[in-house]
Amino acid sequence: MPGTELGYLKEDIAEEIGYNCKVVLPATHDTGSAVVAVPVTDDDTEKSALYISSGTWSLMGTELSEADCSKESRQHNLTNEGGYQYRFRYLKNIMGLWMIQSVKKEIGGELGFGEICEAASRCDISSIVDCNDDRFLAPANMTEEVKSACRESGQKEPEGIAEVASVIYNSLAKCYADTKKEIEIITGKNYDSIHIIGGGANADYLNRLTAKATGKKVLAGPVEATAIGNLAVQMIADGVLDGLNDARKCILNSFPIKVYQ
């Protein structure tokens, strides 16, 4: 289990690095560690906010004290993954910034992700694609695949990196909104906010679109959530932090969190 103390470093390793230290298991999955770093400060897992671990993929969900293996969960492709302190990461895999990464490589030139995001925010195009469609998993050319999907559905075909990125960002926000509705219906809860953690927390335009599409307050950060959650579990095991709630309060007060209403 995360937080298990395995012992100490071998003598030869300790000698090589100049000191010995305890070895503690974190939540040994990148998303597992990242969710530890979601700065929700309510001890009651049933009241915790929604989160999106946003990077190449988007993992959107909440924490549950018991697994939900209902027919509705299966139909909506929601999974129960083990997390810290016997909690379940009840989440859905959503296509993430993989689409933007692909388009950047194809037609982005020297533009950085921040520049692409800013350029997309200035576009006036309302076309939407289904980001979870298998056609976007590994197409020969992501840009052309997005254009084709728009054309086939009778929508305006985007031109240039800014418009293509705008279509992707708006489509991701719609996926998040749809998933939010599914989780709220199945759990019977109305979540007040959505925490976006990981590298995608830097995508300002996507964060604004997500707040608008979901009707929820969005809190973006921390960015290096996996590393921070890993460290937090070790600090709890070492007695530096007094449990998960204390760790999350510490994270909330230690890293910049941007709020989108």
For the chain, domains (ranges, CATH) are 5-96+173-260 (3.30.420.40), 98-172 (no CATH)
pLDDT tens per residue, range 230-257: 999 999 999 999 999 999 999 999 999 9
Pairing mode, strands 217-220 and 193-197: parallel
Average the pLDDT over each of 46-50, 120-124, 180-184 and give the range with the smallest value: 46-50
The SS3 of residue 198 is coil
pLDDT at 193: 94
Question: Active-site residue among 30, 42, 43, 44?
Answer: 30
Q: Enumerate residues 6+ apart whose C-beta is below 8 A from 124.
A: none
Q: What are the pLDDT digits (tens) for 7-37?
A: 999 999 999 999 999 999 999 889 999 999 9
The pLDDT score that the predictor gives to residue 213 is 98
Whole-structure pTM value: 0.94
Structure confidence at residue 43 (pLDDT): 62
- Residue 41's pLDDT is 76
Residue 45: pLDDT over 60: no
Q: How far apart are CA 29 and CA 138, in angstroms?
A: 24
pLDDT of res. 46: 59
SS3 227: helix
Question: Rounded to an integer, what is the distance from CA 37 to the centroid of its chain?
Answer: 11
Say whether 167 sits in a helix, a strand or coil: helix
Give CB contacts under 8 A, 24+ apart, made by 187-192. Answer: 187/62, 187/64, 187/68, 187/90, 189/46, 189/47, 189/62, 191/49, 191/50, 191/62, 191/216, 192/49, 192/216, 192/217
pLDDT in tens, 205-232: 999 999 999 999 999 999 999 999 999 9
Query: What number is the average pLDDT over the span 91-109?
Result: 96
User: Shortest CA distance to 116 belongs to which of 65, 75, 161?
Assistant: 161
Query: In the annotation, is 124 catalytic?
Result: no
Q: How do residues 131-163 score in pLDDT, each as one tens digit?
A: 999 999 999 999 999 999 999 999 999 999 999
Q: What is the pLDDT of residues 149-205, one digit of tens each?
A: 999 999 999 999 999 999 999 999 999 999 999 999 999 999 999 999 999 999 999
- Supply the pLDDT for residue 90: 97
Instruction: Give the model's pLDDT for residue 101.
Output: 97
Helices (H), 18-109: 30-36, 71-75, 98-107
